[in-house]
Amino acid sequence: MVAYQGGDTEAFRELYDRHAHALINFFYKMTYDRAMSEDLTQEAFIRLIRFRDRYRPEATFRTFMYRVAKNLWIDQYRSKKNAPRVISADRRLAEGGATVGDLLESADTSQSERAEHKEAAALIHEALEQLPEGQRMVFLLAESEGLKYREISEILDIPVGTIKSRMNAAVHRLRGLLGHVIG
Q: 47 with 67: CB under 8 angstroms?
A: no
Closest CA to 27 of 11, 14, 10, 45: 45
At 128 the pLDDT is 84
At 83 the pLDDT is 46
What backbone phi and psi angles, to 5 degrees, belong to 92? -75, 140
Q: Tens place of pLDDT for every residue, the chain, 183 residues? A: 999 989 898 999 999 999 999 999 988 888 888 899 999 999 999 999 998 988 888 878 999 999 999 989 888 877 665 444 444 444 444 444 444 445 444 445 566 666 666 776 677 778 888 889 899 989 988 888 888 999 999 998 899 999 999 999 999 998 888 876 555
Instruction: Report the C-alpha gap between 181 and 116 in whole angstroms.
Output: 10
Name residue 111's amino acid. Answer: Q
Q: 115 with 147: CB under 8 angstroms?
A: no
Transcribe 16-42 into DSSP letters: HHHHHHHHHHHHHHHHS-HHHHHHHHH
Instruction: Report the C-alpha gap between 145 and 141 in whole angstroms.
Output: 5
Instruction: Report the C-alpha gap between 29 and 146 in whole angstroms.
Output: 13
Name residue 89's amino acid. Answer: A
- The secondary structure element, H or E, covering residue 115 is helix 111-130
Which value, to the nearest 10 degrees, does the dihedral of the CA atoms of residues 109, 110, 112, 115 take? 40
